[in-house]
Amino acid sequence: MIRSSIRNKLIVFLLVATIVPISTSIIITYFFTKQTVSNESVISNSNLIHQANKNMMNYLNVIEQSSLSIYNNSTLYSIIENGDTDYLSRSEITRGVLGIANSVKEIRQVYLYMAKSERSLLISERNPVPSEGPPPKYTQANNAEVFMEPTHVSHDYGTGRLFYAPPSTVITLHRSIRNAITQKELGTLSIDFDLEVISSICEELYSQEQEELYILDEKGTIIYSADTASLGHVLNEQWVQHLISQNANSGSFEFKSKQFSGVHIYERMTAPYMNWTLVKRIPYESLYKNARELTIINAMIFSLFLIVVISATLYISFRFTAPIRNLLGYISKIQTGNMDVDIQATSNDEIGILARRFRLMMQTINNLIMSEYKLDIANKTNQLKALQAQINPHFLYNALQSIGTLALQHGAPKIYQLLSALAKMMRYSMNTNESIVTMQQELNHVKAYLQLQLQRFENELTVRYDIEESTQSLQIPKMLLQPLVENYFKHGFDHRNPHSQLIVSSTWTGDGKHVKLVIEDNGRGMPQEQFDALLEQLKQNLDPFDNEQASHIGLYNVKSRLLLYFNGEADMRLDQPEQGGFRITLLFPVPKQVLP
């Protein structure tokens, strides 16, 4: 009966093909999920520890760099080397140490000992007034130039300060101040900083209720722990010795004891001034918690899926054999090329839905074929319209020339001159092939621009050019002068002044190695407060979207391009003459091969 019945064969085959793989998968998943989740947890925690390690090293390097400011300040270094002999030298030392104390927020106090004068100085966060005392309590370990003292309670370094400063838990960076040539020790610098940043980074790495996190030095001294009472003490446990004996800079190992059984994930924090290890302890109970939960969830999903599959197998075998055959018949017709075959679907079950979806799919395919065809035609039409809409800038220039010629033919030479000036400006501006031009080309562009402005303000403005002939062949960045001239019409031109004047001049400086370009007017200028604000803005990067700064973008652009082209050796100066108005001076060097 089973051999002759397709339905029975289908039932047996589907049951075997679903029950056996799913059951096997549940069993295998149960055994392997635990290890997989464990490995993923180790990798994830290793990445977190690595990132935290980088963040803490960056922070500690900032503190270490702040201790080098002793060498960067030549005056302070000289006083330490030769001794503080007067009030001024002592004030300089106080300022230098105070600068170190304020360089990093977490620094609590800074201690400086000077061997030459046998004096010491202590400046703390709570007491910025320096406290002086006898030589230091601490010396450099193993003659190291710089080292990090493990976590300890802060103290006054024997200075006997008068102001009460409650002790706190700190880490200290000690640096030996030495002569760079003789390596003679000139003094010591000690920087106390708290664990606020280190604690904030570490607290993000573990769950204090379930896990443990330590920072240990090479001797096992606790730098950081959730147990603040243990800070600064040596942790004498077997797992610590095992950790110290590890040769790799990072990794993980399992350790089992009566007190703790679990995985240890660690990474070294090495620098010339320290050798720490960041280690996270994850107990097996916490490590495998997610694995157990995931295994249970997978088992439930697989069980539910198995029940659904068995039910669907039986249902499909008994109820959908016939509709499948009908659907295969429709497919055969479509394969012959009949894309408009009428697919009948009378049932409301899955096979009926499949038949209707198949019918909708065929309709969609037909529609897509037509849509793609129409879209291709539309794209070709849009491409043609885009080509037709393109206008060559030379067409505009030639059109202006034609209009000007027509004006000349009709006895309007003035219109011809203005159109010619506008055409020259457009051609000069649209020519993007040249970024560097001669000064003569730039002056011609400015003259064309002013020709149009003179027509606009016919009897209200006079323009004077004082151009030294030998400067016109020099090369300058394009569009350097026109924005400066335009600035006058935007901000300085006064309609009430019938004698407005604009002067454009170029001269050699007294040394004959620089050229000075000056744009000067007798306009209304600007209030002194606004002028000072403008000078300050030009020293900074202007934001073109700031309404208060947008009006000065042209000046900043000119200055930036001038400095860029002349490698920072040029300058743009603004001033307001005593008689009124505004003056812009551009000063730039001239290459030796073109000097007169």
288-306 tens-digit pLDDT? 777 677 777 877 887 787 7
214-247 tens-digit pLDDT? 999 999 999 999 998 999 999 998 899 999 999 8
* Domain span holding position 335: 321-386
In terms of pLDDT, which residue wins out, 191 or 486? 191
In terms of pLDDT, which residue wins out, 327 or 579? 579
The answer to whether 515 and 476 have CB atoms below 8 angstroms apart is: no
Q: Tell me: pLDDT of 88 over 90.
A: no
For the ranges 264-273, 316-325, 368-377, 489-498, the one whose mean pLDDT is highest: 264-273
Per-residue model confidence (pLDDT) at position 552: 61
Phi/psi at 153 (5° precision) = -85, 135
Q: Tell me: pLDDT of 279 over 50.
A: yes
Dist CA 224 CA 395 (whole Å) = 75
Could you tell me if 214 and 102 lie in one domain? no
Dist CA 70 CA 80 (whole Å) = 9
Could you tell me if 212 and 191 lie in one domain? no
Within-domain flag for 395: no
Q: Tell me: pLDDT of 550 over 50.
A: no
Residues 6+ apart with CB under 8 A from 283: 210, 211, 260, 261, 262
Per-residue model confidence (pLDDT) at position 259: 83
330 — pLDDT class (breaks 50, 70, 90): confident
Within-domain flag for 394: no
Per-residue model confidence (pLDDT) at position 387: 41
Could you tell me if 237 and 264 lie in one domain? yes
Within-domain flag for 27: yes
Number of C-beta neighbours around residue 30 at 10 A: 14
Nearest to 34 by CA among 255, 294, 265: 294
Q: What percentage of the chain carries pLDDT values higher than 90?
A: 22
Amino acid sitting at position 61? N
For the ranges 64-68, 287-291, 352-356, 564-568, the one whose mean pLDDT is highest: 64-68
Number of C-beta neighbours around residue 525 at 10 A: 18
Question: If DSSP codes are grouped into helix, strand and coil, which group holds residue 556?
Answer: helix
Per-residue model confidence (pLDDT) at position 544: 43
Strands, E assignment, 20-90? none
Per-residue model confidence (pLDDT) at position 201: 93
Q: Tell me: pLDDT of 163 over 70.
A: no
Dist CA 364 CA 478 (whole Å) = 58
- Tell me the CATH number at 183: 3.30.450.20
409-423 tens-digit pLDDT? 666 777 777 777 777
30 — pLDDT class (breaks 50, 70, 90): low
Amino acid sitting at position 74? S
Could you tell me if 454 and 509 lie in one domain? yes
Dist CA 493 CA 501 (whole Å) = 9
- Tell me the CATH number at 477: 3.30.565.10
Q: Tell me: pLDDT of 567 over 50.
A: yes
User: Tokens for 5?
Assistant: 């019945």
Could you tell me if 184 and 213 lie in one domain? no
Q: Tell me: pLDDT of 337 over 80.
A: no
Within-domain flag for 462: yes
Using alpha carbons, list the distances in angstroms from residue 544 to 19, 239, 477.
69, 61, 21
433-475 tens-digit pLDDT? 777 889 899 898 888 888 888 877 777 788 899 999 988 888 8
Alpha-carbon Rg for the chain in angstroms: 42
Per-residue model confidence (pLDDT) at position 404: 66
Dist CA 302 CA 313 (whole Å) = 16
Per-residue model confidence (pLDDT) at position 35: 77
Dist CA 445 CA 586 (whole Å) = 18
**Window from 132-141, 145-154, 211-220, 517-526 with minimum mean pLDDT:** 132-141
Listing DSSP states for 31-90 in one string gives HHHHHHHHHHHHHHHHHHHHHHHHHHHHHHHHHHHHHTHHHH-HHHHHHHHH---SHHHH
- For the chain, the domain total comes to 5
Per-residue model confidence (pLDDT) at position 231: 92
Helices 439-456/413-430 angle, 10° precision: 140
Dist CA 418 CA 404 (whole Å) = 8
Within-domain flag for 428: no
Per-residue model confidence (pLDDT) at position 167: 85
Helices 528-538/553-565 angle, 10° precision: 40
Domain final residue, candidates 162, 196, 230 = 196
Per-residue model confidence (pLDDT) at position 388: 42
Q: Tell me: pLDDT of 162 over 60.
A: no
Per-residue model confidence (pLDDT) at position 394: 52
Q: Is residue 589 within a helix (H) or strand (E), and if so which, with residue range?
A: strand 582-589
Dist CA 364 CA 125 (whole Å) = 75
Q: Tell me: pLDDT of 172 over 50.
A: yes
The answer to whether 522 and 592 have CB atoms below 8 angstroms apart is: no
Dist CA 444 CA 446 (whole Å) = 5
Average pLDDT, rounded, for the chain: 80
Dist CA 203 CA 11 (whole Å) = 58
Average pLDDT over residues 483-495: 83
- Tell me the CATH number at 362: 1.10.8
Could you tell me if 139 and 154 lie in one domain? yes
Using alpha carbons, list the distances in angstroms from residue 231 to 205, 224, 234, 370.
18, 6, 9, 77
Residues 6+ apart with CB under 8 A from 319: 349
Average pLDDT over residues 294-323: 76
Per-residue model confidence (pLDDT) at position 210: 87
The answer to whether 22 and 306 have CB atoms below 8 angstroms apart is: yes
Q: Tell me: pLDDT of 75 over 60.
A: yes
Could you tell me if 90 and 223 lie in one domain? no
Number of C-beta neighbours around residue 586 at 10 A: 21
545 — pLDDT class (breaks 50, 70, 90): very low
Dist CA 57 CA 79 (whole Å) = 32
In terms of pLDDT, which residue wins out, 151 or 595? 151
Give one word for 512, left, alpha or beta, with left for phi > 0 and alpha for psi -120 to 50.
Answer: left
Could you tell me if 262 and 277 lie in one domain? yes
User: Tokens for 476?
Assistant: 């300058």
Could you tell me if 443 and 584 lie in one domain? yes
Domain final residue, candidates 165, 196, 227 = 196
Could you tell me if 446 and 538 lie in one domain? yes
Per-residue model confidence (pLDDT) at position 368: 72
Q: Tell me: pLDDT of 591 over 90.
A: no
In terms of pLDDT, which residue wins out, 584 or 492? 584
Per-residue model confidence (pLDDT) at position 129: 62
Per-residue model confidence (pLDDT) at position 383: 45
Question: If DSSP codes are grouped into helix, strand and coil, which group holds residue 71?
Answer: helix
Per-residue model confidence (pLDDT) at position 222: 94
Within-domain flag for 412: no
User: Tokens for 85?
Assistant: 């002999």
Phi/psi at 384 (5° precision) = -65, -45
Could you tell me if 344 and 279 lie in one domain? no
Within-domain flag for 498: yes
Within-domain flag for 536: yes
Dist CA 359 CA 378 (whole Å) = 28
Residues 6+ apart with CB under 8 A from 32: none
Could you tell me if 353 and 307 lie in one domain? no
CA angle 545, 546, 550 (to 5 degrees): 85
The half-sphere exposure of 299 on its side-chain side, counting CA atoms within 13 A, is 13
Residue corresponding to tokens 């379930």: 210
Burial class (CB in 10 A: 0-12, 13-18, 19+), 591: exposed
Predicted structure pTM score: 0.48
Domain final residue, candidates 347, 362, 386 = 386
